[in-house]
A and B are shown apart, each in its own frame.
Chain A
Amino acid sequence: MLLDPVILLSIFAGVSAGLFVGAMPGLTATMALAVLLPFTFTLPPLHGLVALGAVYMGAIYGGSFAAILVNTPGTPSSIATAFEGYPMAKQGRAIEALNIATIASAIGGIAGSLFLLLLSPPLAKLSLRFGPAEYFWVAILGLTLIASLSEGSSIKGMLGGALGMIIGTIGVAPIGGETRFTFGMPVLQGGVAMIVALIGLFVLPELYTMAAKGKTALKAIEVDSKARSSFWQVTKTVFSMPGNLIRSCIIGEIVAIIPGAGGNVANLVAYNEAKRASKHPEKFGTGLPEGLVATESSNNVTVAGSMVPLLTLGIPGAPPDAVILGVMMLHGLRPGIELFTTSGHLTYGFIISMGMAAIVMVPVGLLGSRLIYKVIFKTPVYFLVPTIAMATILGTYAVRNSYTDVIIMLILGTLGFLFKQLGIAPAPIVLGLILGNIAEMGYVQTILGGQALQYPVLKLFENGLSHILIGMILFSALWPYFSSLKRRLRSKGGPS
């Protein structure tokens, strides 16, 4: 049934549309799915689900294009892609970076579908064990990444992370419902949307830099040799790091099954772990394929991975999943065990189609990457800067149809540029913003749940899963010190 020409066409069109949306900063996978939703109403259930799954897969992958070519993550799932992809583009290796992202994304997409096909029931049970305390610890675990995301001084990174968390608390409190830090301005009651901050902090500094550099900005150095960026060579490069691939896919899957923490967290965690496991962590940030493979494989695993809680428990793992849940409900499909038994042909068809969408990403991506590369690098900077600015303004406005969001984006972007001059990178600020909300929800809910205890805060340390997470936090936080101590001892003991 999946080889039906209409289904194949749906996959191809879905991946292409998703790629276009994902490549535009500000346009998210959720938005793409929401816009295309009405088109699926008249389609049979399987055709509709297949098309939306393909759009989702394409959008997460498409985010890498903008991240690599203009240092602007198209979606929050490709934040870390910019760390390695953009330096590669600056070295004239843009096509190689785009092709690596394509192959890694396809592998991630296929791995995610396989995980979903084989491991749904046990993974769903694990996701049920995550309560508020575990969410809090997951957020803290994520915050330990700040040290690796800081360019230079980690104290400056921590300051950025704290600032991001404060920005995330502006507006109505998630628990309690009171407003905070609105400075008497009602327009701030809606808070700062994460995607608005992401666009501002990543795009505007880059536009200011391009404007300041003038004709020397984005100068394509023609060293992108065909041999190195060819499909076979890139495939060989990606498969030459099986440990990195497997680790990143597992990280992506674990993060994906936790509702609320999707590709935006997975790509950063996978990048950090790739750096930690690398023999040359100091080279990260200079254009290493390892980092690119880690981020792109992990974020595409989350596409199918986040379907685990959705299909088994009816809990959307990420915002786009809510749209897919809506389509399922529309066709009378209820999440749960019945979905795998009485509607098995539909469910398994949908899961397999996501793997097929991942495969289709390869030809679409390889053709699309050359086209987009040419458009970006052949366009004069004086046209590129206002064009990207327009796409940025539109993308920001479209998030909530809010003019205030555009002003906030401009202010945050300008501050981000000034902070960057002082050595405070935008990534820790965005990380603080993403994880601050998760941490606050987890913390306050846990304390509320522990009111019967003498010390409610002890509720945070109550169960086994929390202990495991605390252990991982300590390991993650202390590892850099152990590793530098080990290096120092080794250099002392070595030949002198």
Chain B
Amino acid sequence: MNREINTEIVSGIIGLILTAVFFFALEDVFWMSLVFPKTIVFIMGIIACALVIKGAVQPSRNRIFNVGSNVRWIVTGILFFSWVLIMPLFGFFVSSVVFITIIVGYLAQARMQLTIGKFMIWIPVVIGEVTLFYLIFTKVLYVPLPTGMFF
């Protein structure tokens, strides 16, 4: 994925796809609710076309996804989504302790050898951290966090 592409053409094409998505989602509503989004959809289409034309006339290539390990950000993203998706099932506290520990372990293995001893140190730290946030949000700020089957 760490390669050079014409970002203007790619951005323009994405813009055109988004324009099409929002254009066809324009429902049959009264003009007051429609006039502004319709105008913006057209403007977005024009800008996207301009980007494609500019990319074709003055092609310039830029390197993308060169921030570091692509596998690491993709796996971290998947873990974030999984964490949030299982939250209604297991509750905020349990899912956070589990997923923070997994993410800590995953990111730490890039710089050190993982051992059970390290997890024995990390897990209490993670539990303490999650407990602190949990108490602040539920007892001080009165935010009803997802409880799931636990709390």
Chain A interfacial positions (CB closer than 8 Å to B): 31, 35, 153, 155-156, 158-159, 162-163, 165-166, 169, 173, 175-181, 183, 204, 207-209, 211-217, 380-383, 385-387, 389-391, 393-394, 397-398, 401, 403, 406-407, 410, 414, 417, 419, 421-424, 436, 439-440, 443-444, 447-448
A204 vs B73: C-alpha distance when bound (angstroms): 10
> Are B33 and A385 interface neighbours, CB within 8 A?
no
> Are B29 and A382 interface neighbours, CB within 8 A?
no
For residue B116, CB closer than 8 A to chain A, the reply is: no
Closest to B141 in A: A35
A-facing residues in B29-74 (Cβ within 8 Å): 29-30, 32-37, 40-41, 43-44, 47-48, 50-51, 54, 62, 64-65, 67-70, 72-73
Closest to B102 in A: A386
> Are A159 and B51 interface neighbours, CB within 8 A?
yes
Give the chain B neighbours of A162 by CB distance below 8 A. 40, 43-44, 47
Tell which of B37, B77, B84 touches A181, judged by Cβ atoms closer than 8 Å: B37
For residue B150, CB closer than 8 A to chain A, the reply is: no
Tell which of A178, A213, A401 touches B33, judged by Cβ atoms closer than 8 Å: A178
Closest to A173 in B: B33
**Given A166-B40, A166-B44; 20 other pairs, CB 8 A cutoff:** A156-B8, A159-B11, A162-B43, A173-B32, A175-B32, A178-B33, A179-B27, A180-B26, A181-B25, A209-B73, A211-B76, A212-B69, A213-B69, A391-B133, A401-B143, A410-B81, A421-B65, A422-B11, A422-B14, A444-B36
Minimum-distance CB pairs A-B, first 8: A212-B68, A176-B33, A173-B33, A382-B107, A176-B32, A162-B44, A211-B76, A212-B73
Shortest C-beta distance, A170 to chain B (Å), equals 9
Shortest C-beta distance, A318 to chain B (Å), equals 21
Give the chain B neighbours of A175 by CB distance below 8 A. 32-33
- A-B CB contact pairs (8 Å), 29 listed: A156-B7, A156-B11, A159-B44, A159-B48, A162-B40, A162-B47, A166-B22, A173-B32, A173-B33, A175-B32, A180-B33, A180-B34, A211-B107, A212-B68, A214-B68, A381-B107, A385-B76, A386-B107, A389-B83, A389-B103, A390-B96, A390-B130, A390-B133, A393-B83, A397-B143, A397-B145, A401-B143, A424-B11, A436-B36
Shortest C-beta distance, B41 to chain A (Å), equals 7
User: Contacts A386-B103, A398-B143 given: A180-B43 contact, CB under 8 Å?
Assistant: no
Shortest C-beta distance, A370 to chain B (Å), equals 21
> Are B103 and A169 interface neighbours, CB within 8 A?
no
> Are A155 and B51 interface neighbours, CB within 8 A?
yes
> Are B77 and A414 interface neighbours, CB within 8 A?
yes
Tell which of A155, A178, A397 touches B30, judged by Cβ atoms closer than 8 Å: A178
Give the chain B neighbours of A211 by CB distance below 8 A. 72-73, 76, 107
For residue B149, CB closer than 8 A to chain A, the reply is: no
> Are A403 and B133 interface neighbours, CB within 8 A?
no
A166 vs B17: C-alpha distance when bound (angstroms): 14
> Are A386 and B40 interface neighbours, CB within 8 A?
no
Give the chain B neighbours of A380 by CB distance below 8 A. 108
User: Contacts A153-B8, A398-B141 given: A169-B40 contact, CB under 8 Å?
Assistant: yes
> Are B29 and A176 interface neighbours, CB within 8 A?
yes
A-facing residues in B69-100 (Cβ within 8 Å): 69-70, 72-73, 76-77, 80-81, 83-84, 87-88, 96, 99-100
> Are B40 and A165 interface neighbours, CB within 8 A?
yes
Give the chain B neighbours of A214 by CB distance below 8 A. 68-69, 72, 107, 110-111
A207 vs B34: C-alpha distance when bound (angstroms): 37
> Are A163 and B68 interface neighbours, CB within 8 A?
no
For residue B117, CB closer than 8 A to chain A, the reply is: no
A401 vs B25: C-alpha distance when bound (angstroms): 28
A35 vs B104: C-alpha distance when bound (angstroms): 32
> Are A389 and B33 interface neighbours, CB within 8 A?
no
Tell which of A35, A394, A421 touches B133, judged by Cβ atoms closer than 8 Å: A394
> Are B111 and A423 interface neighbours, CB within 8 A?
no
